[in-house]
Copies of this chain bind each other. A is one copy, B any other.
Amino acid sequence: MTKPEFSKGLEGVIAAESRICKIDGEQGKLYYCGYSITDLVENCSFEEVTYLLLYGELPNRRQLDAFTLKMRANRKLPEPVKDMIRSFPERAHPMELLQSVIAYLSGYTEHQIHHGPDCYCTDTLHQVAQLPSVIAGHWRTRNGRELVDPRADLSHGANFLYMLTGEVPDERDGRLMDASLVLHAEHSFNASTFTARVVASTMSTCYCSISAAMGALYGSLHGGANERVMEMVDEIGSVEAVSGYVKKALDEKRKIMGMGHRVYRAKDPRAVAIEGYLRDLSERKGNQDYYSILKEIERVFRERMEEAGKPIYPNVDFFSGAVYRLLGIPRELFTPVFAMARAAGWLSHILEQRAGNRLYRPKAYYTGEIDRPFVPLDRR
């Protein structure tokens, strides 16, 4: 039998219809439920965008207030979960803890697996609401500090910074954190979102589906690009050293982290937004170092690429790490913070998957032997 053609990694294969996210890579546009990311990030809180992703419509004031109240009421963690956080091995990665805690929290919920959005939201909002508490709690524990209880009068982003540092953040920092969460909330199918949908297709719980997605995001081929951008920035160290570094890297055919994106040919609209935030934040914090180095990397890189006739632009990861660092978020938390934002998108995909469900069950093409003669243990 000749080997059939198939697409490794399901590249180019349509796995489902979706109304959640549209990426227009040619034009450099991104839409959540039909709204441009640029409009959303300039005008909406993360809680508002979470509502949009779950219900498909922007809320009015009354709806948003009710939703925000519910989401904020769910920020607290049960005591045994706090113990899990405190006992987690010191050198382990927080993504492993997040995956574990979200599945554990599934045990605290009465699950209602049917189709009205309201019942979903009681079942599910917790995973989005509780993630910042887990991430911040783990970081504080690891650094010998006690957990800080959430505050219901702060936005999702501001409350995260508060639980991380123990201090209420500057209002502009809180808004910026929220804006970054909006930018990362959703990005169509990728390994983690697809994982969430595959698990949801068995009619498993939302928690269990999101926990599984965490496992995928943890992989080095998925999350973590902004961590590596900041490693590069640290390694370069100064604006003067950029040109030599980039040229050497390109000559040695090494990748420049944060440059280019599989689906965007024009500039990633999230990169445009976050670059603006980084510029303002750098000025406000009186620290231009990261921004200057990044802009110089972009300039030198573009010059070289234009010589080669290939325009490649920075993506969102290129600037986001520097924003996080200036907000006081350590590099180890960049992927967890990504998960914290993306949980809203995962949840949206889980609900969509369930609503028109078909269990995922692709085929394997078998290339091994059959009917191997069995030899008993003592004659092997």
Contacts and interface: CB of A to CB of B under 8 A. Distances in A.
A1 interface: no
A34 B368 contact: yes
Interface stretch (A98-106, A149-157, A249-257, A336-344): A98-106
Interface stretch (A79-87, A163-171, A176-184, A326-334): A79-87
B208 A96 contact: yes
A266 interface: no
A58 interface: yes
A17 B367 contact: yes
Q: Give the contact-size bracket for chain A.
A: 35 or more
A375 interface: yes
A146 to B, nearest CB: 18
Interface residue SS majority, chain A: mixed
Interface string A1-24: 000101011111111111111101
Given A39-B374, A89-B108, A199-B215, A15 B10 contact: yes
Interface of A: 4, 6, 8-22, 24, 31, 33-36, 39-40, 43-44, 48, 58-61, 64, 79-80, 83-84, 87-89, 92-93, 95-97, 99-101, 103-104, 106-108, 113, 188-192, 194-195, 198-205, 207-209, 211-222, 262, 358-372, 374-378, 380
